[in-house]
Amino acid sequence: MRLYVVKVSALVFCVVGCGSNSLMRPVSFEEEREANVRQIGGSLEVGRPVDICKEGEFLFVLAYTPDCWLHSYNKNTGEKVSESIKVGRGPGEGVNLRSMDYFEDEDNLFVFDKELCKTLVYHLDGKTGEAIFKQEIQHPLNGIINNCHHFEAGKCLYEGYLQGGDKNIRFTLSDGIEAIDTYSNYPEVDRECDMIAYQLASVKGFPEKGMVVSTTLYGAVLECFRIADDKIEQTAVRIIDKPEIDTSLPYVDIKAGHEYGFRMACPTNDYIYVAHLDSDAISCKEIYAFDWVGQEKIKYTTDRSVFLLCPGDNQDELFGISITLEGECALVNIDLD
């Protein structure tokens, strides 16, 4: 898995060495199962999807096209129902959308635009598949904000730091104006160059639980954080393989002998599901289920590569997006039972 980097953000460098108190241990599952993956409809005619969520009878996919960013599909047939979030700089429009946080209780979707440093808030209609623009939230333009995750009472968790913050800060909790708390630890890292594995990690919010989950692709690390009482608290960390970057290459990749890790997490009340990148560094035909203390529980194998996941209608079902070696993407239903 090669990622070419033109400019590396200065979001680093607080090192926590592994030493004798290593957090790593061999992976050991309580169960191993085969998951049944069924394609829904045809190929998605969009750019590479960023994220996916479900509301009612519809799946909402965040993916770039020349006209818009958000696409809704019937979850049973895959039929496309609507498009929203036009590409642009006006109200309700976006340029470089990086993440979605879905508040299921209120049917509100929060989408962060990195270039314009703002969050778009849309209401999702689970009966019609429409996304209705509600408001924009402008974030501070000082500092470095790579992504933003929203929580109750107007709190935001920034991946990055605000003006005056140290460049080694990973996360900043803010009220939308100033920093309330920061977090700067990097587990199992001995060299500054390995920090990029955490800078490039996928971070997924779970607003109803007041949690976020961070998963690394280079090296296999899963971390859970609680956002409560104006604090960022790490509640779990599971390291299957430490991040160690090969600095002899002109692109970001792990050293030989180390494992690739995870795509973006799919948090649910019971488990955290993550697609695990296979040793070929191309496909994701394994889904790991972790509990909320970071212990791996179940490994599911699939017959196709699935790289994005979202909760289904019950605890034995997920929806997701599969990808072929040629880059074609499709919606899928995943039966875990």
Of 190 and 100, more confident? 100
Averaged pLDDT, 314-328: 94
Averaged pLDDT, 25-53: 96
Residue 13: inside a domain = no
pLDDT over 80 at 7, yes or no: no
State residue 20's pLDDT score: 35
For residue 241, what are its two tokens? 């393989």
* Residue 41: CATH number of its domain: 2.120.10.30
- What is the share, in percent, of the chain residues with pLDDT greater than 70? 93
Residue 138: inside a domain = yes
How sure is the predictor about 22, in pLDDT bands with cuts at 50, 70 and 90? low
pLDDT over 80 at 278, yes or no: yes
The per-residue pLDDT of the chain, averaged, comes to 91
Residue 213: inside a domain = yes
State CA 214 to chain mean position distance: 7
CA R_g for the chain: 19
CA distance 155 to 114: 18
Residue 156: inside a domain = yes
Whether the predicted model's global pTM rises above the 0.85 cut: yes
Residue 25: inside a domain = no
Q: Is 185 left (phi over 0), alpha (psi -120 to 50) or beta?
A: beta
CB contact set of 96 (below 8 Å; sequence gap of 6+) = 113, 114, 115, 116
**Total count of residues recorded for the chain:** 337
For residue 310, what are its two tokens? 């979202």
Range of the domain at 53: 31-335
Of 105 and 297, more confident? 297
Domain total of the chain? 1
- 122-178: pLDDT as tens digits: 999 999 999 999 999 999 888 899 999 999 888 999 999 998 888 889 999 999 889
Residue 75: inside a domain = yes
